[in-house]
Amino acid sequence: MIRLGTWCLMLAVVCLAVPAASSPSAGGLPPAAGSQPAAASPVKVVTSIYPISALVREVGGDRVEVSTIIPRGADPHHFELTPSKARALHEAKVIMLIGGRFDEWVLPHADEREIIYMVVRFNEAFTDSLIPLGDSFNPHFWLDPMFASEMTRIIAVALCTVDFDNCDHYRERAGTLMAGLDELRVAGRDRLAAGGFEAFVALHPAWTYFARRYGLTEVATIEVTHESEPSARHIADVIRRMSSGGVKFVVAEEFSGLDLARSVAEQAGAKIILLDPLGGEDTPGRDTYAGLIKYNLKVIESVAKHQ
């Protein structure tokens, strides 16, 4: 199994080292195509969640075949792998994960095979920028377009490594996507700057990076971690902080169980806002990464306008 941070590609018993200047932690996109043989068919990539798949599709175009392990609405921490997903893992050339406890549980299912493959753990590129959560890190960094931009570059590097003759294709598409993500970061912040949605409480700790990027204040999260239920004392403290700070919004996800969010909102005199952290291939308008972020920005703008 390979860590992208060490930048090796496992070939049976041979490990091919790539110079540090070409590693994902170095700046810039990968070099132009060289002498390695091109893949005869689309590169099979498996990702843990759809936002990664959306970025891979935009970088790879018709040169990639992407499968997503965790379906929309499923809990990544308690998802049971289906036979079809296990088969996709077994056939993948590249496996791309957020990393840590969030989704590395999929890796044992990819073991004991002979096919050449690479594992990309995006968290390894962001060690100094990750927000602590419990005894680990908050894994929802994909909701910050600047993190997504760096993920895009890492995707291009990975695809160039396994399909080097098509590297120019990946470089060009990644560069276009990264420019669009920078525009999304700036435009989104400008759009929210004049709104009335500065502070909120979140049901889950999914929106911390998004809030930081767009100048919003996450006052608290009702669920501190995914591994434990919030105590009555913690919930009471959240309601107290909302009341004293005039916080009028509880952010939850469309596919969340909303009983707890409703209870907190009612006691604090607040409104529930439903955002979408994942998007989906069958979710119109949210089937690309930019579409997903724009959707959430539009929901927030609408709420701020009508409060």
Whole-Å CA distances, 43 to 10, 47, 92, 236, 258: 16, 13, 8, 51, 39
For 219-232, the pLDDT digits (tens) are: 999 998 766 789 99
Mean pLDDT of 281-298: 95
CA gap 113, 147 in Å, rounded: 32
> Who wins on pLDDT, 2 or 220?
220
Residue 78: the pLDDT is 67
Instruction: Note the pTM of the prediction, 2 decimals.
Output: 0.86
Mean pLDDT of 30-45: 65
Number of domains in the chain: 2
Q: Is the pLDDT of residue 4 over 50?
A: no
- Model confidence at 32, in pLDDT bands (50, 70, 90)? low
Mean pLDDT of 61-70: 96
Residue 115: the pLDDT is 61
Report the candidate in 195, 217, 199 with the shortest Cα–Cα distance to residue 208: 217
Final residue belonging to a domain, choices 187, 209, 225 = 187
Q: Phi/psi at 120 (nearest 5 deg)?
A: -105, 120
CA gap 175, 262 in Å, rounded: 43
Q: Strands 94-97 and 118-121: what pairing?
A: parallel
Residue 1: the pLDDT is 33
Mean pLDDT of 77-100: 88
Residue 72: the pLDDT is 83
For 178-210, the pLDDT digits (tens) are: 999 999 998 888 878 766 677 999 999 999 999
Element (H, E) at 118: strand 118-121
For residues 128 and 269, membership in a common domain is answered with no
CA gap 251, 261 in Å, rounded: 8
Q: Is the pLDDT of residue 17 over 50?
A: no
Residue 236 lies in a domain: yes
For residues 133 and 19, membership in a common domain is answered with yes
Final residue belonging to a domain, choices 187, 210, 236 = 187
- For the chain, the average pLDDT equals 84
- Model confidence at 157, in pLDDT bands (50, 70, 90)? very high
Element (H, E) at 131: none
User: Of all residues in the chain, what percent carry a pLDDT higher than 90?
Assistant: 64
Cα-Cα-Cα-Cα dihedral sign, residues 68, 74, 78, 84: negative
Element (H, E) at 297: helix 289-306
Mean pLDDT of 278-285: 93
Final residue belonging to a domain, choices 187, 209, 227 = 187
For 93-137, the pLDDT digits (tens) are: 999 999 999 999 888 877 655 566 899 999 999 999 999 998 899
Domain holding 159, by residue range, is 8-187
Other CB atoms within 10 Å distance of the CB of residue 183: 12
Residue 280 lies in a domain: no
Residue 306 lies in a domain: no
Task: For residue 26, give the DSSP letter.
Answer: S
> Alpha helix locations (H) across 116-258?
145-162, 167-193, 208-213, 232-245
For residues 56 and 182, membership in a common domain is answered with yes
Residue 89 lies in a domain: yes
For residues 166 and 216, membership in a common domain is answered with no
> Is 73 exposed, middle or buried (CB count within 10 Å of its CB: 0-12, 13-18, 19+)?
exposed
| Residue 168 CA, distance from chain mean position | 25
User: Of all residues in the chain, what percent carry a pLDDT higher than 70?
Assistant: 82
CA gap 73, 93 in Å, rounded: 26
- Model confidence at 289, in pLDDT bands (50, 70, 90)? very high
Q: Which residues pair with 250 in a beta bridge?
A: 201, 272
CA gap 75, 240 in Å, rounded: 29
Q: Is the pLDDT of residue 55 over 90?
A: yes
CA angle 141, 295, 52 (to 5 degrees): 40
> Who wins on pLDDT, 276 or 254?
276
CATH at residue 205: 3.40.50.1980
For residues 230 and 160, membership in a common domain is answered with no
Report the candidate in 224, 204, 183, 191 with the shortest Cα–Cα distance to residue 278: 204
Whole-Å CA distances, 86 to 74, 80, 90, 106, 285: 16, 10, 6, 9, 29
Residue 283 lies in a domain: no
Q: Is the pLDDT of residue 24 over 50?
A: no
Instruction: Please state which of the ranges 28-32, 236-240, 263-267 shows the lowest mean pLDDT.
Output: 28-32
Packing angle between helix 50-60 and helix 289-306, nearest 10 degrees? 130
Residue 16: the pLDDT is 27
